[in-house]
Structure 1
Amino acid sequence: MTNKTQESVKQYDTGEIQGALYGPGIKGLKGAFSREFIAKLGEEINELYKEALTREGGAVGRGPKRHYVEIHPEDISGFVEIVTHPWVKEVCESVLGPEYKIVEIGFDVPNPGAVNQPWHRDFPAPEDTTKGRRLNSLAFNLTTVDVEEDMGPFEIAPGTQWDDGSGFEHEMFPAKELYSRYEERAEQKMPKMGDISVRSALTIHRGTTNHSDKSRPVLVLGVDAPGANNHERHDLQLTKGFYSSLPEDLKKHLHGRLVDELEVIVQGHSIEGLMMGEA
């Protein structure tokens, strides 16, 4: 065992990671990146957001005053640093296995005036989870700002990734009479610049009302185990030149198209139930 491997094992405990994702359904790492790194990421996301808003279908609504934008890995300068961070790699390998694939990168922007979303999961639970009791996908979140209480923090109901969603609307939205279960469990997350978190997208969650005059952009990274097929909802693209510049051990973890020139992404993962906000 090399010193590097020993340090990874010492620093990030596999059992702790698995326990968090299979238990509460969420786990975070504080100070994973420098504030300077995140400040640059924030500037890049702000520019990408402005551009996306100028074209039809560039930004998909996730509720009033709230958008999601899917982007290309090479749209941000820190892509490689994020996806090769030792903790990110350890989480993916621990939960999804050594053949995990990155299938999505984008960002979510709750603006001033964004309201409570309905409680939801991001897609129907697959059979791997409902029958096999196994998580086959993860979502990483990386805030670009210090989140404060009035900025509409992300709210999650720990342990609900295992809830039977067969009776949910679209297998994603629990009925309002079930809301008390999630409200009793609810935890609001207020990460700072440099923190990163990972969750099962099946854990019931929502964005809350943004009472402030600030937006709350957050980078989203979607990762699959073999056979999860969430890539069908996305369109990860890499130019051949960018791909050739990547570390060899990263290339095997990318599930996307190699192109000569980047194409405009046609957003394929619209969650219509979020458009009206919570009634």
Structure 2
Amino acid sequence: MSNRERCVETDANRLIDWFAKLGDVAVAFSGGVDSSVVAAAAQRCPSIHAIAVTARSPSLSQRQLDVAVRVAHQIGIEHRVIDTGEIDNADYRRNDGRRCFHCKATLYQSMATILNQFPGMTTVSGTNHDDLGDYRPGLEAAGAAGVQTPLSDLGMTKVDVRGLAKHFGLTNYDLPAAPCLASRVAYGTEVTTERLGRIEAAEAWLQQHGFDELRVRLHDGELARVEVPKHRIADLIQLDRDEEMTKAFLGFGFRFVTVDTRGLRSGNLNQMLVSIQSNFKPAVTGDPLDVTGESPN
């Protein structure tokens, strides 16, 4: 066994032992790598009962829900899918930089109804140590709800988590991160069911055309800003040589489409929060390359 393998095995045992000290848990389970590792470790702890809870809402793509169902089945953990109503909250829809707080607050309130069936059960999340360095108001909601964070408590980073996912044999260990669809909507632009559906359709179309790592960001005026890794930008532009992508996106309800020449940058919309707090509307930043015009509508 290599030193790296020994380190991963040690981390796995540390994580499993963490659950033994806490007791029964409900994992806020998105099907992403972080929450999957937490669920897998909890399920491997013989002294506790663990369940996984997935929030179904317009901000969760069908593809990600399918991944969550599949991975939960692979782990063998009891899996509950609950409907959450954050889209009905005007504060969430306003999307003023606190959207994630209102989303997570709704999630944990909804999970509380399940916890009533399991006295003494604690909610845990997949927050890792690296998450603590980004703007994440959802962590405030988690703290207020008493949510525990085993990965960050143990100092485990994104790299550590990927290693653990592979160690546990999870089929999603190498899948790209898949934040909720609402995270694609520029701050200051209202989050609506229609816009979330538009983003989901556009990203699904690109995935069907061979792009796995991508984001379709939505800005004011129904502008779609497409991000793919830099080495795939030429492929994306080639795909649209006959305006194939453009026509598809206009059909989904976008009015403009642009390709961001800086490439895929996770969480880059957080950079706009300074403008929001200064009472300015967010604008498309950087040096994007326009590849289409305006829809007839």
- TM-score band, normalised by the shorter chain? under 0.3
With structure 2 as the length reference, what TM-score do the two structures score?
0.23
The structure with the largest strand share of the pair is 1
- Tell me the TM-score normalised to structure 1 length: 0.24
Higher helix share: 2
Higher RCO (C-alpha 8 Å, min separation 6): 1
Rg larger in structure? 2
